[in-house]
Amino acid sequence: MSMAHRTQIYLTEEQRARIGEIAERRQMTMAEVIRRALDAYLDLADDIDVTFGAAPGIRDRVPGRHEWARG
């Protein structure tokens, strides 16, 4: 892992409890659970950013929901 920096965040009681449960089940620290979740989110966000707008004008070629319902 590259050099880590301490960062403080606020979690709801439910978030903290759920992360704690995951950490206990996986025998990991809460910090590791959060880092892994953040990495997964960042990878997904990168993929979305790369593909966003990949099909410009698609709304002009795909029937709207109301047209499908008439089927």
Residue where the block lists tokens 């959060």 = 34
Torsion angle defined by CA atoms of residues 54, 58, 59 and 60, in that order, rounded to the nearest 10 degrees = 140
Cβ–Cβ < 8 Å for 36, 30: no
pLDDT (tens digit per residue) in 1-29: 678 899 999 999 999 999 999 999 999 99
Domains in the chain and their CATH numbers? 7-48 (1.10.1220)
37-51: b or e for each residue (b if 16 or more CB lie within 10 Å)? eeeeeeeeeeeeeee
Q: Is 22 exposed, middle or buried (0-12, 13-18, 19+ CB in 10 A)?
A: middle
pLDDT (tens digit per residue) in 23-60: 999 999 999 999 999 999 888 887 776 666 666 666 67
